[in-house]
Structure 1
């Protein structure tokens, strides 16, 4: 598959979302409930379930799954306790285990919410599409290039089946960022010159010491329970979290991929047995010499900022430092978002369910895969110490996820990647 296969976007599609929030399904005739299944009952999964039940008053949550029975039971109790939608939590399939996703998908649900650790996303997404389900799929969609290619195939199949597939790239559903990107489309900052993007924040799920590992717990179980700290499960911090920035970069570039990337990265704080970096800095080269710099860090006691500075010949679009705005070279504010920002997380589900009800299911094209691959490309460059092209990243055969996967199995993870030695393509 070649880079040119992805040069296919329309700026209109990026912002083509109805503006009737929150009454997006008002006036539509609803004659049946949409049954929803949740795969992954962590914080993001619970949030997605609540948003799905809020988006459409005729949704019912009927099936949930996770790796652990206690997690499933806690999620069920929390969702049933809602005064807003608890009466529509009618769970008849509460299942756990590595194969629980399949039991949810085949339980008679209409819509599946995929919110497990990213390593499982390609397998779960493929199964949901094969079963003809509408899907909300959290980001990122994979942790390695083979997984991205599987997702691309699943997305294309979903399109042929006319299935809704909305991704967790929530900034595309923010009216503030939609308006800001449209300013770029309208030429408000002139010719694009460069883009500097940061995701500096605290550690997300710090790795506990080995001494806290319960006796008899297998490698696979220990790693899944601490999934953020292992590249095969999370994709590393650049891919799991800063992928939001990668998605904004791709959106601004009309989802046209870069030519190449070079990067640095490493770990300043001991990983306690995990193998992810805690900082990256990536330099992407796009066509026409356009450079994009993406940096992230997950450390305590540091300066934090999640900002984007999109620089043009006539001004700079600033995202993340107050209201989105355009500053001219002499420091004046040329444009600033005005109005009330709506909840982008809720908006994703409003759009998803309204599209299903209307008979025109929304499918987020291939940006779920391409934005994920942009982040993986940066990781490849940092891990290897080499310049990595888009085609090399897309076609890499390095697979991180062990197959088959056994809950009780031993699984030795490699140490931190060593630039100049680590193979990524």
Structure 2
């Protein structure tokens, strides 16, 4: 199953082929790799990469990975849909800068729910770029096989998945495997500088923060004649909470993670409201199209999170901070209480953060330096799941009870003949969470 993020962020997401030129200046890491006992080692052999999930984001991840190390080759691809795999393979071959490093024979193009296992076996580094429902099992399989991992956000759709991710992350550390999570703002020079200044007290004690992810509608794939219910949901994964984790995770996680990063902490509780104002009738799944979430941190700081993906509405993105002596955002810079500018992002034209995160991953492999983003990636994903739980239930939900929830959104098995966790009624409508009635714990 592929993850396509075209509508994910109007401010940051990019057309894959258009931006391939922008990333042409990525740092090329060229040297032999070696590791300690128990870690993956490589001398001068090519670094073999496998792509799991062949959407546009998967194609972008391959471009970044191949640009990060001139000794790397793509040797295997996997997706549940053959058309997605074929389209992405054809797209990669059109990029002159990397086409000679795309060496995927027909017998290593794997299709099906077990395709990921076969692709993992072919590679040294695995790119996990499917919808989040599959991340826990795919990550576990990659680490069990001793592979380094790049995995896209979000990292799971429910609390049991997050706990599985956290345990697998610990095993990755024990095996000296390198793991990068696709919350690329953590690698962006501008964000790194701003966060450092805020943590050093540039605006005093942070009183509150607000983050925004206000965009147009997410894309849909029409229901086709003869299509099974599982296939329809898989092709429209953003419309189903079990596959997407909801828009707090699928969209806003980037900005919420920035707030967690600045705070050096995660919320202790959340409450909020939301619903569906543009989604109705058959084919629109069970997601909400707007959220307002109030998160509370242990020191009393509040994060107010606004999310909307509705056609014809005002768009805005990013995170803003209000402190005792000023305010801050990456776009507006840092200002004192008089509104005077005391810092602006000097890195606006710096290297693309999507590229930097892959440069860092391959540098850590080459130099055998510790690198594992799993814990903060999982906990920022859990933050967004906490927010979704609060809104769907209409209740105040505590972090600990959310993280320890046994309620799973997953089907009993991933297969074409498996029953999806949610099914339409006789009119084609799906059951939608009802605040005050829906159980989330």
Assess same fold via TM > 0.5: yes
Q: CA contact under 8 A between 1:193 and 1:313: conserved in structure 2? A: yes
Q: In the alignment, which residue of structure 2 is the partner of 1:376?
A: 385
State the partner residue of 2:155. 141
SS in 2 for 1:289: coil
Q: Counterpart of 1:25?
A: 29
Q: Deviations over 1:328-379 (max 9, x none)?
A: 2222111112243320001110100111011224211401110000000000
Contact in 2 for aligned 1:24/1:351 (Cα 8 Å) = no
Size of the aligned set, in residue pairs, is 396
1:417 paired with 2:433, answer yes
Whole-Å separation in 2 of the counterparts to 1:114 and 1:204: 21
Does structure 1 residue 401 correspond to structure 2 residue 415? no
Q: Distance in 2 between matches of 1:250 and 1:279?
A: 22
Separation in 2, partners of 1:405, 1:28: 39
Quote the residue 1:132 is aligned against.
146
Q: 1:391 aligns with which of 391, 400, 406?
A: 400
**1:229-308 to 2 correspondences below 5 Å:** 229-254=239-264, 256-271=265-280, 272-273=282-283, 274-308=285-319
Note closer, same or farther for the CA distance 1:112–1:26 as it changes in structure 2 (3 Å cut): closer
| Distance across 2 between alignment mates of 1:313 and 1:360 | 38
| Contact residue 144 and residue 235 of structure 1 kept, 8 A | yes
Give the whole-Å Cα distance in 2 for the aligned partners of 1:197 and 1:63.
Answer: 38
Instruction: Normalising by structure 2, report the TM-score.
Output: 0.87
Asked if the contact 2:412–2:418 (Cα under 8 Å) also holds between the matched residues in 1, the reply is no
**Are 2:183 and 1:169 aligned?**
yes
Q: Superposition pairs for residues 23-102 of structure 1, below 5 Å? A: 23=27, 25=29, 31-92=44-105, 93-102=108-117
Per mean C-alpha deviation after superposition, the further-off stretch among 346-355 and 325-334 is 325-334
Please report the RMSD computed on the Cα atoms of aligned residues, expressed in angstroms: 1.6
Distance in 1, Cα, partners of 2:257 & 2:395: 23
Matched, 1:185 2:199: yes
Which consecutive unaligned segments of at least 5 residues does structure 1 have? 1-20
Instruction: Name the counterpart of 2:40.
Output: none
Asked whether the equivalents of residues 118 and 143 of structure 1 are also in contact (C-alpha less than 8 Å), the reply is yes
Unaligned runs of 5+ in 2: 1-24, 34-42, 424-429
Q: Do the aligned residues in 2 keep the contact of 1:205 with 1:229 (CA within 8 Å)?
A: no
Counterpart-to-counterpart distance in 2, 1:65 and 1:307: 33
Distance 2:322 2:83 in 1: 49
- C-alpha offsets along residues 116-145 of structure 1, whole Å, 9 cap, x if unaligned? 111111110010010000000000000111
Distance 2:64 2:232 in 1: 30
Cα deviations across residues 52-101 of structure 1 (Å, max 9, x unaligned)?
01110000000001111122122112212321111111113101111111
TM-score by length of 1: 0.90
CA displacement at 1:410 relative to structure 2: 4.0
Contact 2:30 2:71 in 1 (8 A): no
8 Å CA contact 1:219–1:409 kept in 2: the answer is no
Partners of 1:220 and 1:407 within 8 A in 2 = yes
Q: Deviations over 1:239-283 (max 9, x none)?
A: 1111112211211111x2222111111010124331100111111
Is the alpha carbon distance of 1:65 and 1:344 closer, same or farther for their aligned partners in structure 2, counting shifts above 3 Å? same
Q: Do the aligned residues in 2 keep the contact of 1:221 with 1:408 (CA within 8 Å)?
A: no
Q: CA separation in 1, counterparts of 2:136 and 2:339?
A: 46
Give me the whole-angstrom Cα distance separating, in 2, the residues matched to 1:338 and 1:262.
36
Give the match for residue 340 of structure 2.
Answer: 332
